[in-house]
Chains A and B, each alone.
Chain A
Amino acid sequence: MSYAQLIGDWQALVVLFVAGVVPNQIWRMLGLWFGGGIDEGSELLVWVRAVATAILAGVIAQIVVQPPGALASVPDGLRYGAVAAGLVVFLLTRRSIFAGVVTGEVFMLAGKWWLG
């Protein structure tokens, strides 16, 4: 493992703070300062939560549809099949995260092995 892999450059850390830490942390600090008097069920927050959920859903889709690194070595159909198989088991087991994840992983590994 090289120095670049372990430490990297300082520009990347600056980007981490500007694009990641500050835009994320600002909401916690606002909650700390202006907490109280905010209705968790307010209409604006319902919309915000829906958009936030959909953005996360988009990222999940992006990783599966345009996979990074080693995941790109798995054929498209196998990745989609793994998510579908995991989802079926997740629903059948009354929403067990563990069962869904294990099924998806086993499906993908078994498929990869079977395809050679």
Chain B
Amino acid sequence: MALPPLDSPQWSSSWLAFGWGLRSVTQTILTLVLFATYLGIGALAHDSHFSLLWALCSTLFVWAGPAQIILITTLGSGATVIQSAIAVTVSAIRLFPMVVSVLPLMRTPTTKRRELFFAAHLTAVTLWVECHRFLPQVPRERRIAFVNGLGFGLVSVCLTANTVGYFLAANLTQTLGAAILMLTPLSFLFSTARNSREAADVVALALGVLLYPLAAKMNSGLDILVSGLVAGTIAYGVHWWREVRA
């Protein structure tokens, strides 16, 4: 499926643009990755004793895979609400520059801030990547509708995947249930590695994985925060050192 040319009557209304956004969900391999990830999140929620409604609400209102996994994993392993909230909010800071950089792509001189509300909510790494790919082919005054359609489609795919994953975890044999839970670490490890552009990103990812087991031995309840802060700061040090030398 190719998007119609910029001057085509196919862009004459917001609803048509919404429809093109919705159909674009089928045009990206990332939809498949999201499906697998949210299948895993549904299964993770089941095996961590959360309800299906809870899992669906987390997808609808949080709409950020890393934050959802951090939330389920920390709450599920007995962290307090405050500890989980801190880990989630640190993981979510990256959404700020994403929103800041993606909204100008769809803003026109007459755009009101509230018209961008859903686009801001839907912004996460997948949408951010796809906006940069698709939006140049969409007339500027139809871009908000297009993004809302694309986001609506992606959220629907993920809610479906959550439900399927939840029921599979409840009904499958232990081995297949384990396979679905394993989707989460694998898909996040590789999609984060793929998005790593700088040496600092790679160091943060590798050290973050390696330092966690050490931090967990301290048994402070803040394991994830401790290993994340230490590994992230070392990674930043590597970035800084390379900049100074360059």
Contact = CB atoms under 8 A, between A and B. Distances in A.
Interface in A63-92: 63-71, 73-74, 79, 82-83, 86-87, 90
- Majority-rule SS of B interface residues: helix
A53 B232 contact: yes
Interface string B24-66: 0000010011001000000110111011111001100110101
Interface residues of B, number: 110
B29 A98 contact: yes
B169 A70 contact: yes
Interface stretch (B10-18, B88-96, B130-138, B144-152): B88-96
Nearest to B210: A61
A12 B48 CA distance: 12
Interface string A77-113: 0010011001100100001011011001100110011
Nearest to B60: A21
Nearest to A14: B81
Interface in A39-78: 40, 43, 45-71, 73-74
Nearest to B88: A23
Interface residues of A, number: 79
Interface in B190-246: 190-194, 196, 200-201, 203-213, 215-216, 223-225, 227-233, 235-236, 239-240
Interface stretch (B1-9, B153-161, B175-183): B175-183
Interface string A1-42: 100111111001101111111111111111111011010100
Residue from B62, B73, B232 having most chain A Cβ neighbours under 10 A: B232
Interface in B70-97: 70-71, 73, 75-77, 81-82, 84-97
19 contacts: A13-B53, A16-B62, A17-B61, A22-B85, A25-B62, A31-B95, A35-B99, A47-B236, A49-B201, A49-B204, A51-B229, A53-B201, A60-B188, A71-B47, A98-B33, A101-B33, A101-B36, A101-B190, A105-B183
Interface of B: 29, 32-33, 36, 43-44, 46-48, 50-54, 57-58, 61-62, 64, 66-71, 73, 75-77, 81-82, 84-101, 103-104, 113, 116-117, 120-121, 123, 167, 169-170, 172, 174-175, 177-179, 181-194, 196, 200-201, 203-213, 215-216, 223-225, 227-233, 235-236, 239-240
For the complex of A and B, the 3 pairs showing the least CB-CB separation, nearest first, are A69-B47, A57-B208, A8-B51
